[in-house]
């Protein structure tokens, strides 16, 4: 309510497509074609899950709003993985940090699904020896 009463321009139904500036952010371009001055850009990631046509794919649903997944982020339909706000499992914590981790799990397991010879977990920087 206070934001709407402030002089801040509120833009909805648009995505940031380009950031402009040298060492500091100065302007952004939106998917609407609009260019705006900008000093800070805050990523507010997340959404309210809307399954739309996914409801017709034979996927197990929870609360008719979320896709049920296992610990590998697999749905009940082979080859379909889900992560983030749309995914649900016992003990799910709906935080963006959790969603980022779920994406890494889903992508790695999807890679193995597509290529069974693929390594489930790629090397991590913590597996590398420390340079002398």
> Length of the chain, please?
132
Q: Pick the closest to residue 51 from 80, 17, 12 (CA basis).
A: 80
Q: Please give, one letter per residue, the 3-state secondary structure of 99-120.
A: HHHHHHHHHHHHHHHHCCCCCC
Looking at residue 123, what is its pLDDT? 65
Contacts of residue 102, defined as CB under 8 A and 6 or more positions apart, other chains included, come to: 73, 83, 84, 87
pTM across the whole model: 0.59
Looking at residue 128, what is its pLDDT? 63
Where are the domains positioned within the chain? 2-37, 52-114
Residues of the chain with pLDDT under 50: none
- The 10 Å Cβ neighbour count of residue 102 is 21
pLDDT digits (tens, 9 = 90+) for 47-82: 666 788 888 899 999 998 899 999 999 999 999 999
Helix, strand, coil percentages for the chain (3-state, nearest 5): 25, 15, 60
CATH topology (fold) of 52-114: FAD/NAD(P)-binding domain (3.50.50)
Positions of E strands within the chain: 16-20, 27-30, 35-37, 61-62, 66-68, 87-88
Q: Which SS3 state, helix, strand or coil, does residue 130 take?
A: coil
Residue corresponding to tokens 């979320």 = 66
């Amino acid at each position: 309510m206070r934001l709407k009463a402030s002089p801040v321009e509120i833009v909805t139904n648009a995505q940031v497509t380009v950031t402009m500036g040298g060492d500091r952010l100065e302007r952004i371009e939106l998917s609407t074609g609009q260019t705006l001055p900008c000093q800070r850009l805050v990523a507010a990631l997340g959404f309210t899950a809307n399954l739309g046509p996914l409801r017709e794919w034979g996927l197990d649903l929870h609360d008719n709003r979320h896709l049920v997944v296992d610990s590998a982020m697999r749905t009940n339909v082979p080859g379909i993985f889900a992560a983030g706000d749309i995914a649900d499992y016992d003990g799910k914590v709906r935080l963006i940090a959790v969603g980022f981790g779920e994406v890494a799990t889903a992508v790695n397991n999807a890679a193995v699904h597509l290529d069974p010879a693929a390594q489930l977990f790629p090397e991590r920087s913590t597996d590398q020896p420390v340079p002398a």
